[in-house]
Structure 1
Amino acid sequence: MKLFLDPGHGGNDSGAAGNGLLEKNINLDIAIRLRNILLNEYQNVEIRMSRSSDTTVSLEQRTSQANEWNADYFLSIHCNAFNGQASGYEDYIYQGLPDSSKTAAYRNIMHNHVTAVHSLPDRGRKKADFHVLRESAMSALLTENGFIDNPGDASFMASSEWRQSVARGHVNGLEEAFNLQHQQSAGSVYKVIAGSFEVRDNADNRQSFFQSNGIEAVVVEAVVSNQTRYRVQTGAFKYRENAERRMEAIRSLGIEDAFILVDEDTLQMEEDNGVSILGEMVLSPHLLDQYVKSINDQAPEIGVYYLEYGAYYGIRGDIAFAQALHETDYFRFTGVVQPEQNNYGGLGATGPDNPGDSFDKPEDGVIAHLQHLYAYASTSDLPSAYPLLDSRFELIKRGSAPSWTGLNGKWAVPGSDYGQLILNVYERLIKFSRNTMEDVLENIKT
């Protein structure tokens, strides 16, 4: 499937503006996240973008590029503006097409999936004479993802988590519309646990309660801290937002002791490729910071940077955080790199006489770390919203290490088990997070 992805506006055309936001930036951020999800998780998908940075591209150039490439689908990402009061999501196909057309059928699928994650009012399915819809030779859709001049809509747009959800909604629609197939290594499994009991009868009663309310549930036996517990599982989902929607349904029934458990089996190595560097973060920044502070109470709280910039570059930020812990000895900096360098990946460090690169602030150090990982994992152009801070980016053979174990002998020399050591730290992070959530659950129950 060949997708032409069009982030609206750009360069000297900022598009709509409001509440301190520019439409061109929101459009590009959503489009890059959408691209990253597709390339990281699906087979046989090719993507070209009308722009991957803040550049000016005419409407004619956008459709000409898509037509010359013979794309299967043209998807244009936009935000709306009107009078500061209007709110919601809407999408458009070309006005000359009947509702029975293939383009309309695709749009119906896309609309259902995007509105399912948007958290905005549904303004409906619409038609218009927009250039990109009229002049594209393939089926085309333009989505308007909220009103940037509405304070409520803009508050969503300012959230990186919301923009990731919007990108995911578009991807879910594309998956159904074009029957996209997942890569074997794509994603984690999110299990919704709605009760954890010491007595089996209590778990069975909770299971019966859910089933009487139309929610399928099973009782799963688990060993936690050497004690057998009976968990009531009300679903296992590929996408976290689907698990969160199930959580909302459970809470609406008055059940407050539910939580989402990430299946650890996703850490098992793929036979050929290993655990991918590219992908979505699973653990929250709070859990990352909590874990390292349980070992080093003076550790900086930088988990949020690995979430935000990891999502932007399409990198598994929580595993990159584990790599930073490995490189810095849990931010104790017992090697040649010193704390004031803000160098969390050991970039450029070769020995006592060369402690490596330094960065003005922690945020810059995280960005440089993730850019270095991007160089190893991807052959695509580096997204350009942030300056290139990794001084060694151009020295790397692009795409030479798409997995964490692929870094063996590359990031650290000889480093024959470097990737495995990172994943070992990450597994400890997962276990700590699981135990922390179990403790929270027990405290709620008592």
Structure 2
Amino acid sequence: MKLYLDPGHGGSDPGASGNGLLEKDINLDIALRIRSNLLDGYENVEVLMSRTEDSTKSLTERTDEANVWGADYYLSIHCNAFNGTAQGYEDFIHDRLSDSSITAQYQDIIHPEVMKVNELVDRGQKKANFHVLRESNMPALLTENGFIDNAEDAALIKQAAWREKVAQGHVNGLAKAFNLQKKTDNTVTIYKVIAGSFRSRKSAEKRVAYLDSEGIEAFVSPIILSGKQWYRVQTGAFSLLENAEARLEEVKRAGIEDAYITTEQVKIEQTGYPILGKTQLSPELMNQFVKNINPDAIELGMYYLIYGQYYGIRGDIAFAQSMHETDYLRFTGVVQPEQNNFCGLGATGPDNPGASFESPEEGVLAHIQHLYAYASSEPLPSEYPLVDPRFNLVERGSATTWEALNGKWAVPGDNYGQSILQIYEQMLETSILELESTLQELKAN
């Protein structure tokens, strides 16, 4: 399901105001929560927002963008105002639509789901000739979430917990209306940043060239949606939504307004994937994999192979873990490149960025030793010095699989190990594609 999510107003247009609140701020806060809850909770959802910050955008720009993108649904988030006396929630579809239309049917589903949680007076399901309802090609709904100038409603609107509940009410309605499937516990989510979708491959390649000129790596990813061939421009795949959102903002700062986040789910077997084992992928493939995403990445593949083989650790999956921890060696978190800490050892927040090591090689050695502490209860082999400062803090043998690192290496760390394995699966896919390409070249010669 492709949702065009429109936080009303923004920038030079503040919308309604009252009780120390601006409508544009509340609309954006609720919409961002809707996006996060949808992407985190449901499979096969794409969300393109009209704005993700306090920016000005005309109504025509919004509906044109939704129409060109081919959204399945247009949802516009608002708050109301009327001389301080009115209260409650209401939503609107276009007034030319019948009560039996598909748009009205969606409204019939979403309205009661929002009302279940918002603690507001029910002002009913209504119709109006609003621009976003009239000019959008897809079914559209505009919701008015309380009266910002009413003291009682505003007291609720000011609460972050209330805005979260309202967002979830919208999500519950969308899930019911579009029969969205919840993610299962053994599903890993990858958040992909799409910098435009095109019917023409040439147009997509032009967008890739522009992003490259702005220093943003991108590539064309063909996909069939609703029986039609599309060419997406993908610029990054992340296991953390916040990292995807940071890339999305980077793309938008480069002038690409039709960028959005989509999700992909991969199921990991519940039995678990052992940490101990033979490294399967070559150092060259590991290095090339990260350079496809971050061309400035240093080369660590050989260290992960050597120390992985010595300690009997899956060095290639440990390499994938380092990609997860460092955002593909871009170090966008609290750990800095000069620390040579590729697995976040001891890092707990801005005030404690964790351990530091003298060289990249020593940093990889510490990483492998820490994995050995979790995966084995045997004494540490003695050829190399112990450089992991937290080795003796680990309950030896307490996590023999990557999934078992959940809640241990990262806290709370739900799906931490699965996220690592998803990156490893991407490395495997890259290896297979390169092999197929090589075979084709050999056949051609």
| Structure-1-length-normalised TM-score | 0.48
Report the structure number with the largest CA radius of gyration: 2
| Structure-2-length-normalised TM-score | 0.48
